[in-house]
Homo-oligomer: A and B are copies of this chain.
Amino acid sequence: MSNAKVLPLLEPEAVVPCCPPLNERPMSADEAEVAAKMFKALGDPVRLRLFSAVASHEGGEACVCDISDVGVSQPTVSHHLKKLKEAGLLSSERRGTWVYYRVEPAVLAAMGALLSGAGVTA
């Protein structure tokens, strides 16, 4: 565990191109599968609060200890953070004693792109 940490090094091209805006064309089954995962990740109140806590925290990252005051047990907090990480919305990094979570801007942008304009056009 002491050797190099293999970082993703996500290039700007790697921005999730998941899908066109919702109102551009009917979504394909595959697109919907991908996009629904992201929405579902934010479809739980506890996860939404955790995510918001991380997103609004200084520097865009927060230690678990800083955000675990959402009314559920600590294992549950960990469970939800894992879900958010699996959905690509958060990334985590251990720094000494604490584990820090950070928002993944690319995925957020993708979701925003999905919604933006969806109610505007006809």
Task: Please report A residues at the B interface, Cβ cutoff 8 Å.
Answer: 22-29, 32-33, 35-37, 39-49, 51-53, 55-56, 58-60, 67, 70-71, 103-109, 111-112, 115-116, 118-122
Contacts and interface: CB of A to CB of B under 8 A. Distances in A.
A51 to B, nearest CB: 6
Contact of A26 (B53, B106, B107, B118): B53
A45 B107 CA distance: 17
B43 A23 contact: no
A110 to B, nearest CB: 9
The number of times this chain is found in the oligomer is 2
Given A36-B48, A37-B43, A103-B119, 19 more contacts: A22-B52, A22-B56, A23-B52, A23-B56, A25-B56, A26-B56, A32-B49, A32-B52, A35-B42, A36-B44, A41-B43, A58-B122, A60-B121, A104-B119, A105-B119, A108-B115, A112-B116, A112-B118, A115-B115
